[in-house]
Structure 1
Amino acid sequence: MKKITMFMFESCPHCKLARKCLDELKAEHPEYAAVPFEMVDEKKQPDVAAKYDYYYVPTFFVDGEKVHEGHAEKADVEKVFKTALA
């Protein structure tokens, strides 16, 4: 099982949608709740965000590898979880 790191910021509407999808998927698939997960607010943690190569939020990394960047629908977030579980 690999760690997911999500980069976001609080007022981003795309990030809010991605967080809603995260919650729905964890409720539908309890195994997703066990995946190590870190959410980094790029405005509150710019030192952490600066270490990663991305432009848009939300962006998801799995074990340090970028797997999705930008607007994320439920299917996109589920792909992130499946990558972490592979």
Structure 2
Amino acid sequence: MARHVKMMVLDGCPHCRHAFELMDELKKEHPEYNQVDVEVIEENREAGKTQGYDYWYVPTFFVDDVKVHEGVPTKDKVERVFTEALK
């Protein structure tokens, strides 16, 4: 069973959009990543859900409330989120 992933984003953020593209690409390459349920939280619309989370940049990924990645995404960094979630 995959661990819970929260992804903090902002609408219109080019880095967030790129992270979604990388996630889609990785899911095609590694079908097991489709088991990971990512809760996407748009911080302007859902500010209450970001309370208590320490981050400055988006996108930021938390796996079971532990920050795994913050800021400009790369394929390797996004893949680390999936591998951490599946441990």
TM-score by length of 2: 0.93
Counterpart secondary structure, 2:21: helix
- Partners in 2 of 1:3 and 1:50 — Cα distance? 17
How far did 1:83 drift? Answer: 0.7
Q: Which residue of 2 aligns with 1:20?
A: 21
**Paired AA for residue 67 in structure 2:** K
State percent identity of aligned pairs: 48
Q: How many residues align?
A: 86
**Paired AA for residue 70 in structure 1:** G
What is the Cα-based RMSD across aligned positions, in Å?
0.9
What is the correspondence of 1:20-39 to structure 2 with a 5 Å cutoff?
20-39=21-40
Counterpart secondary structure, 2:55: coil
Deviations 1:45-76 (A, max 9, x none): 01111231111000000001001100011111
- Partners in 2 of 1:3 and 1:38 — Cα distance? 8
Q: Which residue of 2 aligns with 1:10?
A: 11
Consecutive unaligned residues in structure 2, runs of 5 or more = none
Deviations 1:2-54 (A, max 9, x none): 11110001111110110110111111111101112101011110111123111
**Paired AA for residue 36 in structure 2:** V
Give structure 1 regions of 4+ aligned residues with deviation exceeding 4 angstroms: none
